[in-house]
A and B are shown apart, each in its own frame.
Chain A
Amino acid sequence: KQEVTQIPAALSVPEGENLVLNCSFTDSAIYNLQWFRQDPGKGLTSLLLIQSSQREQTSGRLNASLDKSSGRSTLYIAASQPGDSATYLCAVRHSFGNEKLTFGTGTRLTIIP
């Protein structure tokens, strides 16, 4: 059974700092991995999607990497801003089609102005 873990569970950093969120998964036979953010009382916003054949994806100040063989992904946020405060979730999909995502435990990020 796939297990997805995110470390740390909570993180507070001053505004402007670069930071890294970690995601690890036990079964490396994945199809793709997604990073999401969730603001309090809201749904999930998809940030980045990495296919199993890719090593990284970038969107603005966000960069996600994937090392499938070691079961790890990282989300790098550059020049953090207070608006980045949210809970960040990673999730893996095992195969194409309708198989469900397995979510990580989440990292609650607070950017201190």
Chain B
Amino acid sequence: GAVVSQHPSWVICKSGTSVKIECRSLDFQATTMFWYRQFPKQSLMLMATSNEGSKATYEQGVEKDKFLINHASLTLSTLTVTSAHPEDSSFYICSALGDRQGDYEQYFGPGTRLTVT
């Protein structure tokens, strides 16, 4: 199956600093990528949808100036958490939409655990 990687797998940062998370589709091109966050024992919450070469579409309640998303190429999307605070600590998961013969199957990365101290 298709592979999506995320880097880093975990990160600890101090309050007020910014953190960048990378998401790559390794063996396919993804015009669309999604960013989710997940709190313990809860389901995934979609934060934004990004399309290559255009601005991301954010879900209601997600601050676009705080969570900067850049989908620079067909295999790379980045999420930057700016001026991080402890309440931003969470598990962030990216996903890439693959289109093989119109199947539109969504593949997920392994996640990045962010801890803000």
Enumerate chain A interface residues (CB-CB to B < 8 A): 31-32, 34, 36, 41-46, 49, 51, 89, 91, 93, 96-98, 100-101, 103-106
Of the candidates A43, A45, A91, A98, the one having the most CB atoms from chain B within 10 angstroms of its own CB is A43
What residues of chain B lie closer than 8 Å to A105, measured between beta carbons? 43
The listed residue (A51, A89, A98, A106) touching B97 by CB distance below 8 A is: A98
A selection of 30 A-B contacts at a CB cut-off of 8 Å is A31-B104, A32-B105, A34-B105, A36-B108, A41-B111, A42-B111, A43-B4, A43-B6, A43-B109, A43-B111, A44-B44, A44-B95, A46-B1, A46-B106, A46-B107, A46-B108, A49-B103, A91-B106, A93-B106, A96-B102, A97-B32, A98-B32, A98-B51, A100-B46, A100-B49, A101-B106, A103-B44, A104-B43, A105-B43, A106-B43
CB pair B108 A97 closer than 8 Å: no
CB pair B111 A32 closer than 8 Å: no
